[in-house]
Structure 1
Amino acid sequence: MALIIIGGLLLCLPKAAHAASPTPLLLLQQEITGTVTDQNGLPIPGVSIILKDTKRGVVTNLDGEYRITAPANATLVFSYIGYKTREVPIDGREVINIQLEDDIAALGEVQINAGYYNTTKRESTGNIARVTAEEIENQPVISPLQALQGRMAGVEITPGGSHPGMAATIRIRGTNSLRQEGNYPLYIIDGVPVNPTPIESSSLMSSTGIDPLNNLDINNIKSIEILKDADATAIYGSRGANGVILITTKIGYNQGTGLDVRLYHGGTTAPQRYDLLNTQQYLAVRKKAFENDGVEPTERNAYDLLIWDQDRYTDWQDFLFGGTAETTNANLNFSGGNNTTSFRFGTSYFSQGTIYPGDYNYHKITGNLNLNHRSENQKFNLNLSLNYGVDTNKMVGNVGFNSTTAILPPNAPEIFNEDGFLAWEQWERANLDNPLKGYFNESNTQTNNLISNISLSYEVIKGLQLKANMGYTYYDAGELRKQPKRSYNPADENIHSSSHYKTNRTSWIIEPQLIYNTNINQLTIEALLGTTFQENKDQMENFQGRGYASEALIGNLAAAESIVNARTENNDYRYSAIFSRLGFHWDKKYFLNLTGRRDGSSRFGPSNRFANFGAIGMAWIFTEEPVIKNSLPFLSFGKLRGSYGTTGNDQIGDYGYLDAYEATTGTGGLYPTGLANPNYSWEVNKKLEVGLELSFIENKLHTSLSYYQNRSSNQLVGYPLPAITGFTTVQANLPATVENRGWEVEITSQNLETTNFRWQTSFNISFPKNELISYPDIEQSSYANTYRIGYPLNISLLYEYTGLDPETGFYTVKDINEDGSLDYQDRSIIKDQNRKFYGGINNSFSFKNFSLQFLWQFVKQEGRQTLFSAGRPSNTSVDVLSALEGDSKYQKISQSSRASQAYNYVINTGFPFEDASFLRLKTLSLSYKIPKKLLKQISIKNCRLFMHGQNLWTLTDFTGLDPEIPNSGIGNLRSITGGLEINF
């Protein structure tokens, strides 16, 4: 596919301009008013309007309005970062409304968050990806991570599943650690670190856990920056090995007040179906199996042929996930301020139903407050941010909402009786359980999340600033799963029971800092010195209540006959660090950035508690050199940058360097549960990067090319132990080195721009490569059957498929060592299951008051499809019909044990793998802004109508449910929402 990328994504952040001191005017004065808008007709707050050749000026308020007194023959200069400056003669006019045009070159000066300091895209020596509110705020997703898919190079986000609230998996430049929990990035929200580990659950979310970012209001996010290379992440030391995600919430404006209301509502459905057999096809396949096997059908082995209705047909996919989940969002925010103080506070409500049968739903209510204050002399600054969210997830627990139910025989009997209770009779006659056993279970999970931060700074002398950042987080999750006996077969004599989970996470952080900036002729020096003191406390408890007298009492522990399987955990993690940064800029052409950090973690023994990390980053803007300017006039901007450094990883359990004991029941004794190893030390990640950035045609086309190589060594794992030791694992360092390397390409361009029409495009693509490059004596380790030197961590070890046996018609695989049995010694095929490349293409169009944006996400990969087992009493792909005639790539239709064994072997070969690449219309947004002249009479400043589509269409050859998670069923849901945004 040939892709012509000719456009650019232009974003800007408000930056207040302050009125300068007035100067005497000698000519007749008059008052001028007006509104400043962008090319979409939206108001731009904070635009500076200066009277030309003076220092006198004003700024636009929240609605882009201004008022200034000036001579009738003077000229006004309108300027704002990200837009082209305009000079407009007054010519005696009293009303001057103007529209500013985007300026890609100026966008390089927009401030981006680098964590402990700010920089710009132009001057950054590191690799920092960024998305803004305009790209994510209208997406009907729960966690902000879900809104990033396809928008950033080097960032892979895989959905956890179709149930609301499930934790997604995010990988920034690949998998670094052999441990799953060692690959989480660092989350920083308004300067406060947040534990990224998903919350444990016993509901349908148990496979991935609950996303700790669910409680955030997506509409309140100003920007999300992702730090990728050593230059950007080393200042976070041991916490930056897997990248850093910085989430910044919105702040108030410094002029006037305003009320913003945003509402949308819509529906969500499952976008894909298996192509399965209908009843007639299914019965033909089953009869063929008995014929081929030479077995007489009986009620026991052929209940679907002899007991169940031969004319009945149920589309079990439609029954299971054919529903429509309603989605609703309401958002209300009030903001304002003056030259010294600004504020913003708001609330939101979000709800989403389920596509599965039953009354299950998710609800979220959030509140936020942001307060900024600057003293009149500009020396003292205060910033306060509070984000609080409560969500309730009512899902079912332990029930078959999975692909097993979707492939029930199409003539299977009813799930429910007429009275609404589970049917059991015909299922029992077939010696089966009702597939929705557990349907009346209830799982109610409620979480409360507070993230608070206060930042204080004071300028002691010019260029020297004292700063303190303090944060506190509180996360509480409680889950009650009720299991009434009516969810189960009455013949089994079940009792009412309940399961209780409770998780509590609290943390505080204090970071005093000393910041110094100075200019010496053409040299700019930026210095930072700070310390970190942090403590996390995690508490977890779970238990079960059994024997409730009635269903109404389930969950009331006082009414339970017994409490069993009780377990509690209490962990206390302490962390401290000292960090520093030195940044040098010479003549805006040469940039040097030095960062360092010394970390101390309570997760290591006394002799290994501290470690040092650091990085060096350099950049050269070579287009500032006169020889380049003169010889390459078509090149608007060119920068060469590079970085190298080390980060670390301490994402392991607490107290692993100590022996652990638990009390025995009733006797008062102790027994060992954890084996000590005081000698393990820090995982180290060494990162190397080289990047080139170029802009052409007066900055209308911007390209960025990056190459990275990250090596993670001294791997921290729970090393498996033989059962004879009495322990399952011991924490240790393995002599393994994992490398992630790859290329990233980003292109933004401005395709076409006229008075009324604009078209911009952005494109990103990543080519990642993951490899275990070293592991001495892996053959003697417990990972000998898991990893291979020279291959990625995410591999499958497979048998070699050797075709159909001409005598039996069954699948065959190769016995490599010819010992007469098949085991791991015969798995000679190594299948790489990583993505070959991935990326996204985003387009933005605007015409007068209309705006259209859409994002295509694409991935090149393989996936496994296993629905080709024909002959047994379960539905399968229509592809196996070819086996009815005997001329097929599939084995002979049979339900014999030999056929089942052959199938079990072949699914562990390359046979079931197919191309799971896809091109997906990830988002589509259409909006219309109602003209202001129609709104004046009803006192509304702005009103915008919009429609949004998510996962609307997928082009793929994959025959499963979702190619993005090809081995896991449904992941992404299709949604269509519509709403309006009003500014008062």
Structure 2
Amino acid sequence: MQLSFAQEKSVTGTVTAATDGLPLPGVNVIVKGTTRGVQTDFDGNYTIKASVGETLVFSFIGMKNTSVVVGANNTINISMQEDIESLAEIVVVGFSTKSRDELTSAVSNVTSEDLEKIAPSVSIDNMLQGVASGVQVTAQNGKPGQTAFIRVRGIGSINAGNQPLYIVDGAQVNEDDVNGINPNDVESVSVLKDAASTSIYGARGGNGVVLITTKRGKKGQDGVFKLTSRVGRSRKTEDNFTMMNAAQKLQYERELGQGIGAGISSNAEYLRLVGLDHDWKDDLLQDGLQKSIGFSASGGEERMNYFFSLGYDEDSGIIQDIDAYNRVSGRLNVDYQIKDWAKIGSSLSFSSIENGDPRDRNNVQNPFRAIYDYNPYETKFVLDANGDQVLDANGNPIYNATHAGYPVSAELNQNITTRYYNRFLGNLYLDLKLTDNIKFLTQGSGIYEQYRRENFLQPGSVLDLIVNGGVPTGSKTDNGSFDFTYTWLNKITYTNTFGDVHNLELTALSEYVRDNFRSYSAQGQGFVVGGPSVLNVAATPIAVAGTRSEYSLFSLAANVDYNYDNRYIINATVRRDGSSRFGTNSKYGNFYSGSIAWNITNEEFMAGNKTFSTLKLRASAGTSGNDQIGRYSSITTYGFGAYNNGLTTISPANFGDPNLGWEQNFNYGVGLEFGLFNNRLRGLVDYYNRTTSDLLLNEQLSLTTGGNAVTGNLGEMVNKGLEFELAGDIIRNEKLKWTVSANLNLYDNEVTKLVNADDPNTVGVNESDLFTTSNFFSILRVGEEVNTFYLTRYAGVNPANGEALYLDADGNVTNNANGNEVALSGKSPFADLDGSVSTTVQYSGFDLSANFYYKVGNYIYNLPESNMLSDGDNIADNQRLDAFNYWRNPGDTNVLPRPFSNSNQTSDRFLQKGDYIRLRSLQLGYTLPSRFTETMALKSARIYVSGTNLWTYAPYYKGDPEVGIGSGETQTSAGNPTVIPGEFALYSYPTTSSISLGVDIQF
């Protein structure tokens, strides 16, 4: 060994692909039998220490491993051959994996390499925006760690939930659990979109399925350590309007004859107020600090492979005095081949999240309303006549209550709400090879979530004195829950090939899902100023509460996959589900699908074809279901309450229906996939038609039966759409690769039925009467798009007197908005189309990627604008600068209504198109050449700068056009079963833009 070591020399060379001669960056080069190894740089170059007679091994994903013995020559150039089997893109589908050319269904697949090109986020679902066709992603709001609304191929339900089913390494999770997953741990995300892919999930797959697969070590892979680090800044996106400054607001008040401006008696007072001019955003908001660090180790031996990771993410958020988000996460994935016929493995992860929670409600406690409502001449702290801060008895400055009567800064410091989430997620499996053709898998998976919320109103704080009549009392509320969902899967698979061309796979499985949920709440009052905040020291217990609920699902399913010579592929699935959510007469549901595909390029008549590298037709049809309703909607339940002298009352809470059953989704579609010129140009076209029947809706009962609503299968709606994807390598040579890609999704939705014609209780019922209003500003009506806006039409300003004009239901002009609401056909919160345009450039170690996301055709009710252009009604609040453009004289046109003319009524005056295009992600990176990294004993090193939401163009909407939740507490407290994404905007946590610097190191 000493002699061999003495003969070591530097071996250099270039590694290229045999197909096109292009350099291969990132090829692993190792000296066989040792730990010495390097990676090729962007130009495919490498340098490694080796001795004559030793063997170099070259390995690269998609290429066959190549070995060469070191000789006298110091230069060894390698041309690697494609490995056809490994080149095929592997896609995770229901309970199995397939190569892309074996698919008969519509599946969008996003790999870890795709995710690395996207500006980072702590929640994986937000990173899917614009990268998966047919999948519309809208951030719930800009709060750090917040998840997204995801709609797969349109609106699948009205009352029973629209979120897809999330599966992480086989474990079913809720949509809110997704932000507990470290995106650095994700290997791929597959979105199953049609019945051919979702029917295997039966009752849960009606809104699509998102399969998240985490990383695993690779067999025979030397240990790889990876360190990732990122730091960045975030801030509220810029408004596309201007608020009044101090001088302008005082002038506005003077013109309208109200407010402080109207009462100024001296020029000195006016100048003093103007001199106080400032922007409340500077007082209440900040530039958020984002930090992320992660470490992973992966590798594999002959019988075992592993992946281990730790991560820490922090985001201070953009609100002063609140630490918004902290997450600690860890993962361990292990696979072990016990015998040639037996394999075991596990995927285990843990995350702990702490959220600082601002009040998301439309009142004086909301800081995002305060930055617009507070006047620019009002100060954060109380000032004396000399302009100095007034101090309290403890020497602290006193918060100014402003005209709102409550200082929101006190809320942020003294009414403290914190949320804690601990999540354990994982699975254990045993995979047995019973014969050469039969495999059996049993897998147990589950997620345990521990949630805790603490709200402490400090004794003596501003709000405490208000609610307790000036007596410093203080109060504390602790509430939380424990939620455990587990799944037991048993699957047997038979595979065989007959005559070299007939490939058959038969799968049968059983699946059992059970959820156990518990919650608690406790309140106490009476705390010592400056003392501890635990409930044990509260002087007076106020209330205690607790609930429990359970849910279970049992399923049997079978799948047949037939592949003839990889030319003709047929797939069929059946599944039967039994759910505890549904009535005794409808507890079980049957679901099925069938699909076919034709790989045209594999036909003999395409042999020698130089144009098409891929050409495939596919078609599918089938059913899936939706069970996202209350757990006890099918049975009659009773509520308990307190009565006089401690007695307990019992009253009906829900009237059950033993016939309550599944929402049914029947989905059919066709698709064409193509690749031209050695896949240099590639794309697909998909058409789908999705009918949701037996909609789970609430039917209002008469007062004689109790007046409550009962859930029934009462409606139907149809979603249709087209999806387009196109990508091309504009330049592809040894030095430069430039790729441009785009996708476009067209949506069409219509409600086709709203009552059950077979139900004797609904005979003769007018559907439009039964379902007049379904939410704040929208309705359900047959023949219209779901949640069509239902508003009075604004007709402008009467030039003679400045009054606001409206149209009545018959189209006649009136000055009264009330009672004249009509359905505004074609106007709903849901887009007609969306998509993205992306580009990536790679040149000599540099990489640049950009993604633009766009949405067209949705409408948003802009409540903030109605407050900022209130026609004098909100004269005490600051206003937008264009509020000056009001009617003054007869004959004025293109103006706002005359102030104080009762013009600020609900109408489509404030309904605006939400069309926008946004630079969603931009990233510039540089990978250091191997000649630098090898001197530091590194395999690779990359530095990058990235940005999110850097530019937005919204020609019609005033404000940020990406609206999910309008106001969290306002919407949920109204008793709505679901939040309609984007129906209205109302001071929820705003979207943020960010810039960050990151480093990725492998060694």
Normalising by structure 1, what TM-score? 0.86
Alpha-carbon distance, 1:509 to partner: 1.2
Match of 1:27 in 2: none
1:828 and 1:711 map into 2 onto residues whose CA distance is 23
Q: Name the SS for the 1:364 alignment partner.
A: strand
Q: Name the SS for the 2:226 alignment partner.
A: strand
Is 1:236 matched up with 2:201?
yes
Amino acid aligned to 1:778: E
Choose which of 691, 699, 706 in structure 2 pairs with 1:719. 699
Is 1:605 matched up with 2:567?
no
2:854 and 2:433 map into 1 onto residues whose CA distance is 49
Is 1:974 matched up with 2:993?
yes
2:154 and 2:708 map into 1 onto residues whose CA distance is 28
Choose which of 532, 540, 548 in structure 2 pairs with 1:570. 548
Is 1:173 matched up with 2:153?
yes
Q: Is 1:108–1:122's contact at 8 Å kept on the other side of the alignment?
A: no
Kindly provide the CA deviation profile for residues 516-538 of structure 1, in whole angstroms up to 9, marking residues without a partner as x.
11001111001100101121111
Kindly provide the CA deviation profile for residues 240-296 of structure 1, in whole angstroms up to 9, marking residues without a partner as x.
0000000111111322212111111111111212411222222222222239x9x99
Choose which of 249, 265, 277 in structure 2 pairs with 1:282. 249
1:885 and 1:808 map into 2 onto residues whose CA distance is 9
2:816 and 2:871 map into 1 onto residues whose CA distance is 25
For structure 1, which segment, 386-395 or 306-315, has the greater mean C-alpha deviation from structure 2 after superposition? 306-315
Match of 2:142 in 1: 162
Q: Name the SS for the 1:286 alignment partner.
A: helix
Alpha-carbon distance, 1:623 to partner: 2.3
Kindly provide the CA deviation profile for residues 284-337 of structure 1, in whole angstroms up to 9, marking residues without a partner as x.
22222239x9x995699x9x999993543121234343x111000010112222
Match of 1:314 in 2: 278
Q: Name the SS for the 1:681 alignment partner.
A: coil
Match of 1:479 in 2: 453
1:860 and 1:810 map into 2 onto residues whose CA distance is 33
Choose which of 724, 727, 730 in structure 2 pairs with 1:745. 724
Q: Is 2:50–2:70's contact at 8 Å kept on the other side of the alignment?
A: no
Match of 1:433 in 2: 406
Change (3 A) 1:264 1:97: farther
1:486 and 1:747 map into 2 onto residues whose CA distance is 59
Q: Name the SS for the 1:144 alignment partner.
A: coil
1:155 and 1:421 map into 2 onto residues whose CA distance is 52
Is 1:347 matched up with 2:310?
yes
Match of 2:966 in 1: none
Alpha-carbon distance, 1:58 to partner: 13
Alpha-carbon distance, 1:678 to partner: 1.7
Amino acid aligned to 1:882: N
Match of 1:367 in 2: 330
2:408 and 2:50 map into 1 onto residues whose CA distance is 77
Alpha-carbon distance, 1:106 to partner: 7.5
Amino acid aligned to 2:933: L
Alpha-carbon distance, 1:483 to partner: 1.1
Q: Is 1:482–1:555's contact at 8 Å kept on the other side of the alignment?
A: no
Q: Is 1:48–1:78's contact at 8 Å kept on the other side of the alignment?
A: no
Alpha-carbon distance, 1:923 to partner: 1.2
For structure 1, which segment, 462-471 or 250-259, has the greater mean C-alpha deviation from structure 2 after superposition? 250-259
Q: Name the SS for the 1:883 alignment partner.
A: coil
Q: Is 2:627–2:662's contact at 8 Å kept on the other side of the alignment?
A: yes
1:63 and 1:336 map into 2 onto residues whose CA distance is 16
Q: Name the SS for the 1:750 alignment partner.
A: strand
Q: Name the SS for the 2:886 alignment partner.
A: helix
Match of 1:390 in 2: 352
Amino acid aligned to 1:881: F
Amino acid aligned to 2:573: T
2:598 and 2:31 map into 1 onto residues whose CA distance is 31
Match of 1:25 in 2: none
Choose which of 838, 843, 850 in structure 1 pairs with 2:839. 843
Change (3 A) 1:466 1:664: same
Change (3 A) 1:278 1:298: closer
1:418 and 1:45 map into 2 onto residues whose CA distance is 68
Kindly provide the CA deviation profile for residues 475-495 of structure 1, in whole angstroms up to 9, marking residues without a partner as x.
111010111241327464253
Alpha-carbon distance, 1:396 to partner: 3.7
Match of 1:827 in 2: 822
The answer for unaligned runs of 5 or more in structure 2 is 1-8, 41-45, 383-388, 756-765, 964-981
Match of 1:580 in 2: 558
Match of 2:374 in 1: 408
Match of 2:758 in 1: none
Change (3 A) 1:680 1:46: farther
Q: Is 1:46–1:80's contact at 8 Å kept on the other side of the alignment?
A: no
1:155 and 1:696 map into 2 onto residues whose CA distance is 25
After the TM superposition, which residues 114-129 of structure 1 pair with which residues of structure 2 at under 5 Å, given as runs? 114-129=93-108
1:119 and 1:558 map into 2 onto residues whose CA distance is 60
Is 1:781 matched up with 2:791?
no
Match of 2:123 in 1: 143
Change (3 A) 1:742 1:90: farther
Match of 2:972 in 1: none
Amino acid aligned to 1:448: N
Change (3 A) 1:755 1:608: same
Choose which of 787, 800, 809 in structure 1 pairs with 2:793. 800
Match of 2:870 in 1: 869
Match of 1:657 in 2: 634
1:397 and 1:523 map into 2 onto residues whose CA distance is 62
Q: Is 2:342–2:431's contact at 8 Å kept on the other side of the alignment?
A: yes
Choose which of 43, 65, 82 in structure 1 pairs with 2:26. 43
Amino acid aligned to 2:444: M
1:59 and 1:457 map into 2 onto residues whose CA distance is 32
For structure 1, which segment, 39-48 or 255-264, has the greater mean C-alpha deviation from structure 2 after superposition? 39-48
Alpha-carbon distance, 1:176 to partner: 1.2
Amino acid aligned to 2:667: K
1:106 and 1:892 map into 2 onto residues whose CA distance is 69
Q: Is 2:123–2:146's contact at 8 Å kept on the other side of the alignment?
A: no
Q: Is 2:283–2:380's contact at 8 Å kept on the other side of the alignment?
A: no
For structure 1, which segment, 855-864 or 704-713, has the greater mean C-alpha deviation from structure 2 after superposition? 855-864
Alpha-carbon distance, 1:620 to partner: 0.7
1:431 and 1:663 map into 2 onto residues whose CA distance is 39
Aligned residues: 913
Kindly provide the CA deviation profile for residues 438-491 of structure 1, in whole angstroms up to 9, marking residues without a partner as x.
232111111100111112111111111111121121111101011124132746
Change (3 A) 1:45 1:853: same
1:673 and 1:385 map into 2 onto residues whose CA distance is 42
Kindly provide the CA deviation profile for residues 945-973 of structure 1, in whole angstroms up to 9, marking residues without a partner as x.
11111111222324533112274355431
Q: Name the SS for the 2:179 alignment partner.
A: coil
Alpha-carbon distance, 1:551 to partner: 4.8
Match of 1:732 in 2: 712
Kindly provide the CA deviation profile for residues 582-640 of structure 1, in whole angstroms up to 9, marking residues without a partner as x.
0001111101000111001011122211110010010011222233456x642222111
Match of 1:13 in 2: none
Match of 2:852 in 1: 856
Choose which of 196, 220, 227 in structure 1 pairs with 2:185. 220
For structure 1, which segment, 958-967 or 690-699, has the greater mean C-alpha deviation from structure 2 after superposition? 958-967
Match of 2:593 in 1: 615
Kindly provide the CA deviation profile for residues 404-446 of structure 1, in whole angstroms up to 9, marking residues without a partner as x.
542322222335666596846774xx58333455232111111
Match of 1:9 in 2: none
Change (3 A) 1:193 1:288: same
Match of 2:301 in 1: 338
Match of 2:320 in 1: 357
Q: Name the SS for the 2:801 alignment partner.
A: coil
Change (3 A) 1:432 1:687: same
Change (3 A) 1:47 1:80: farther
Change (3 A) 1:633 1:397: closer
1:82 and 1:885 map into 2 onto residues whose CA distance is 73
Kindly provide the CA deviation profile for residues 25-80 of structure 1, in whole angstroms up to 9, marking residues without a partner as x.
xxxxx99998969979753469999xxxxxxx999989689999999999x99786
Change (3 A) 1:305 1:115: farther
2:556 and 2:37 map into 1 onto residues whose CA distance is 41
2:304 and 2:894 map into 1 onto residues whose CA distance is 73
1:951 and 1:296 map into 2 onto residues whose CA distance is 38
Amino acid aligned to 1:710: R
Q: Is 1:545–1:555's contact at 8 Å kept on the other side of the alignment?
A: no
2:309 and 2:290 map into 1 onto residues whose CA distance is 20
Change (3 A) 1:664 1:490: closer
Match of 2:954 in 1: 956
The answer for unaligned runs of 5 or more in structure 1 is 1-29, 50-56, 197-210
1:425 and 1:941 map into 2 onto residues whose CA distance is 58
1:489 and 1:670 map into 2 onto residues whose CA distance is 35
